[in-house]
C-alpha cells in the first residue's frame, strides 16, 4: 500500500486575495486556518505553533546557510571521503574517484546514480537556491510557477545526497580485516555531510510565498 493516486481538482482561488491581504494564515504545522487581525494571535490556537505571514528573516537565514554550504562544497569534493588500506597499498578516494571506480568495476547505472546524488544534486541545489534568493530579493515577477516548481524539486531531492555518507559508513564498518584490508573515513565525508545538512537547512528557511509577492502587487 504505497501512496494513493489522486485525481487533481484545482480549487477555486479568490482572485487577488492572498492570506496576507485578507489577514488569514494557514498554520505551517497543522494546516488550521487562523485569523491574523488579532495582534495577539502569534501562535496557532489549534496546535500552538508560532505563526508568521512570512518566515522571519527568511532570505538572510537561507543565504547564510547557502554560503556556508557553498564554501564546504569545495573541500567536500577535493578531500578524500575514504581511505582504503590493502596489502597492495593505500588508496584515497574522493567523491568523483568513487564514481569512476563504480563505473569501471560496478555498473554504469549505479555510477550514474551516485554521480547524480553526490555531484549534480548538491551543485544544482546551490545554483537553484541562489537563483531563488536573488529573484526574491529583487522582488522579481519572473515565472513564479516555474520557480515554485524548482523549489519543490530542490526540497524533494536534497536529502538524497546523503547517499555517499552512508556508503562510507557501511564500508568503514564492514571492511576491517586488520592487515588485509581496512577502510577509514576521510575529511571529505565530513564536509560532504555538512553540505547536505546546510543546503537542507537553507531550503527549509526559504519561504516559498516570497516568490509570489511581486505577482500580488501587480
Subset of 1-60 contacting another protein (CB under 8 A) = 1-14, 17-26, 28-35, 37, 44, 46-49
- Told to check if 120 binds another protein by CB under 8 A, we report no
User: CA-CA distance, 89 to 162, in Å (whole number)?
Assistant: 28
Burial of 99 (0-12, 13-18, 19+ CB in 10 A): buried
Residue 144 in contact with another protein, rule: CB under 8 A? yes
For another protein, which is the closer residue by CB, 14 or 40?
14
Length of the chain: 218
Asked whether the beta carbons of 69 and 206 are under 8 A apart, the reply is no
Which residue among 97, 130, 140, 148 contacts another protein (CB under 8 A)? Answer: 148
Of 163, 159, 144, 142, whose CA–CA distance to 203 is shortest?
Answer: 159
Q: In the numeric block, which cell numbers belong to residue 53?
A: 505571514
Q: Stretches 63-71, 122-130, 134-142, 171-179: which one binds another protein (CB under 8 A)?
A: 171-179
Which of 66, 69, 114, 132 binds another protein (CB under 8 A)? It is 114
- Check binding of 71 to another protein (CB under 8 A): no
Closer residue to another protein, CB minimum distance, 140 or 204: 204
Q: Which of 39, 105, 179, 218 binds another protein (CB under 8 A)?
A: 105
Tell me which H or E stretch contains 162: none
Among 67, 68, 96, 113, binds another protein (CB under 8 A): 113
Residue 90 · residue 83 · CB < 8 Å:
yes
Q: Which stretch binds another protein (CB under 8 A): 64-72, 122-130, 131-139, 179-187?
A: 179-187
Half-sphere exposure of 205 (CA within 13 A, CB side): 19
> Cα(193)–Cα(186) distance, rounded to whole angstroms?
12
Given 164, 195, 198, 205, the residue binding another protein (CB under 8 A)? 164
Best CA proximity match to 163, nearest among 126, 111, 105, 86: 111
Contact segment (CB under 8 A) with another protein among 56-64, 69-77, 132-140, 167-175 equals 167-175
The CB-of-10 to another protein minimum distance in angstroms stands at 4
Could you tell me how many residues of this chain bind another protein (CB under 8 A)? 86
Q: Which of 85, 91, 140, 169 binds another protein (CB under 8 A)?
A: 169
Nearest-angstrom CA–CA distance, 141 and 152: 18
Nearest residue to 188 via CA among 172, 202, 168: 168
Nearest CB to another protein, comparing residues 63 and 199? 199
Amino acid at each position: 500500500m504505497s501512496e494513493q493516486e489522486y485525481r487533481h481538482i484545482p480549487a477555486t482561488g479568490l482572485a487577488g486575495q492572498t492570506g496576507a491581504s485578507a489577514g488569514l494564515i494557514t498554520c505551517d504545522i497543522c494546516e488550521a486556518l487562523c485569523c491574523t487581525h488579532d495582534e495577539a494571535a502569534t501562535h496557532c490556537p489549534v496546535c500552538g505553533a508560532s505563526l508568521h505571514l512570512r518566515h522571519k528573516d527568511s532570505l538572510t537565514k537561507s543565504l547564510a546557510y547557502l554560503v556556508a554550504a557553498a564554501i564546504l562544497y569545495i573541500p567536500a569534493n577535493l578531500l578524500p571521503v575514504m581511505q582504503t588500506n590493502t596489502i597492495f597499498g593505500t588508496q584515497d578516494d574522493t567523491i568523483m574517484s568513487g564514481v569512476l571506480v563504480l563505473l569501471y568495476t560496478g555498473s554504469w547505472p549505479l555510477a550514474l546514480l551516485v554521480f547524480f546524488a553526490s555531484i549534480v544534486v548538491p551543485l544544482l541545489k546551490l545554483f537553484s537556491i541562489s537563483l531563488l534568493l536573488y529573484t526574491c530579493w529583487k522582488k522579481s515577477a519572473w515565472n513564479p510557477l516555474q520557480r515554485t516548481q524548482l523549489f519543490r524539486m530542490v526540497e524533494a531531492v536534497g536529502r538524497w545526497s546523503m547517499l555517499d555518507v552512508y556508503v562510507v559508513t557501511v564500508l568503514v564498518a564492514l571492511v576491517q580485516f586488520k592487515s588485509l584490508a581496512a577502510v577509514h573515513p576521510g575529511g571529505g565525508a565530513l564536509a560532504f555531510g555538512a553540505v547536505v545538512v546546510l543546503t537542507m537547512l537553507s531550503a527549509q528557511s526559504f519561504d516559498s510565498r516570497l516568490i509570489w509577492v511581486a505577482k500580488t502587487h501587480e
